[in-house]
Structure 1
């Protein structure tokens, strides 16, 4: 007559399968690679939306990976601090609760209420894929709703699973490892995709905010005077072109001067400039290659320092 082994575990753990899934993901995508991909995705959206505000397609500027990643530094301080403080508040708050409160089993109606709220929040986030409403259209509302809803339901399922297992005989076999691995694989996928969604939404919002702030400072920003050997054909009413009357015998490299421009940035192998009179919907950004045909010189001046009227 056979007997079940006495040492067999029947309790199981909420994190059964987590190690196996994490190890499998780590073998395919290293954690640093995944983080770099997330930061790159954030930087790409930031760069694209920032220059799109000025009417420039950033893909034509050929930014480097370093320039994409550097764009993330400007925007990640606030969300990292907020997430860190929230995690500390949850951990410390739970620890500060009396033992009588932490060990008390929630009433059934509390679990039912949490379930309804979690499902509602989850559906609100998922609905953003199909339709835009006032409840899911805010900054990062949809992906954050999905994460909160999924984690809340997972916690309720774990609580329910443990309660049912406590009612089963000790000889009951533990939960299937395949089911645990599948559950964690789905959690990894849903939360991972939601994190990329958050990165996209937040980077776009930051880029548009930075571009709007920069455009508002145009009247007081430093200006740049361009001296060029060849005519750059910047023949706009808000860019003043002056032909320099230079003595051919002097061998001067610069025959044209352009005033009224403000430097936006240098990215890739290009300079991006806009007229000082630029406004959304009125004005064009100017992209110059860093190595244009012929000699070129930039002369930077403060907003109140007007250049000479002649070359």
Structure 2
């Protein structure tokens, strides 16, 4: 039962970290794009899914560190004197993050990530060295509490870096890689500028009076579609929010030829 409880607690902590990372990275991404994540009404599953791809690298690094630590323990297990010397040194591992504090002004975004990571490693090694061969639940309890806080600090810092990176990628690839969109509407939606275009529909029998092109699909949430002009940028652009139905139709178009001819036909 203890093992089941430990596994359940670990899964709960992992889920909380994934959700927090998804929210924090999305918040940083949308702020960099001049928006806010609350605009898109993202669900819990959306935040969880958005966290997965960016966590591959940290997961591999954590696995590598864990394997390296196990290898080091096996290497020192057969040498009591070597292990004793290493233990004496590890008692001062807590000082490593403190030594980095004066360097923080040199690169705040980098040390916002390094400080909590070194705090986790330093405090865990310190607790191991000081409790080796005996039980000290108070020390380990305090250490785990600080490590969890440091973990969320590190996750927040890495999420901000990942979110800003996604925002830069969005800005670079919006015109060529986001789905192109054509909107038909009974009424004028006043979509203008930013590389978008519109024309009056003259075909007989059409229920729509206006056609809008040069748009890109930015996000979909329920029955709401978020569109931007193909030349949109965070500094100069408009996010259009349309509700499907209500006298309008949203078509997704594909192919390089269609993209090349949009707003020319």
Q: TM-score, normalised by structure 2?
A: 0.81
CA shift, 1:80, in A, is: 0.8
Q: Distance in 2 between matches of 1:93 and 1:189?
A: 25
Instruction: Pick one of 128, 136, 140 that aligns with 1:155.
Output: 128
Structure 1: gaps (5+ residues): 1-18, 166-174
Partner of 1:46: 25
Deviation track 1:17-69 (CA, whole Å, cap 9, x = no partner) reads xx8xx97xx7xx84433322221111111222222232222112211111111
Q: Distance in 2 between matches of 1:93 and 1:31?
A: 25
Quick check: 1:140–1:201 contact (8 Å CA) kept in 2? yes
Matches within 5 A, 1:292-303: 293-303=246-256
Partner of 2:37: 58
CA shift, 1:87, in A, is: 1.0
Residue 276 in structure 1 maps to residue 230 in structure 2: yes
The Cα RMSD (Å) is 3.2
Structure 2: gaps (5+ residues): none
Quick check: 1:54–1:284 contact (8 Å CA) kept in 2? no
CA shift, 1:214, in A, is: 2.6
Q: Distance in 1 between matches of 2:13 and 2:74?
A: 32
CA shift, 1:98, in A, is: 7.4
Q: Distance in 2 between matches of 1:105 and 1:34?
A: 33
Instruction: Pick one of 167, 170, 189 that aligns with 1:211.
Output: 167
- 2:94 alignment partner, SS class: helix
Quick check: 1:263–1:274 contact (8 Å CA) kept in 2? yes
CA shift, 1:191, in A, is: 1.1
Deviation track 1:225-258 (CA, whole Å, cap 9, x = no partner) reads 22222322212253212222244xx2x2322111
Residue 118 in structure 1 maps to residue 90 in structure 2: no
Instruction: Pick one of 193, 213, 227 that aligns with 2:184.
Output: 227
Partner of 1:144: 117
CA shift, 1:117, in A, is: 5.6
Partner of 1:133: 105
- 1:263 alignment partner, SS class: strand
Residue 244 in structure 1 maps to residue 244 in structure 2: no
- 2:106 alignment partner, SS class: coil
Query: Quick one: structure 1 residues 288 and 46, their matched pair in 2 at CA, closer, same or farther if it must change by over 3 Å?
Result: farther
Q: Distance in 1 between matches of 2:93 and 2:138?
A: 25
Higher relative CO (CA 8 A, sep ≥ 6), structure 1 or 2? 1
CA shift, 1:92, in A, is: 2.1
In terms of fraction of residues, the more helix-rich structure is: 2
- May I ask how many residue pairs the two structures share in their alignment? 258
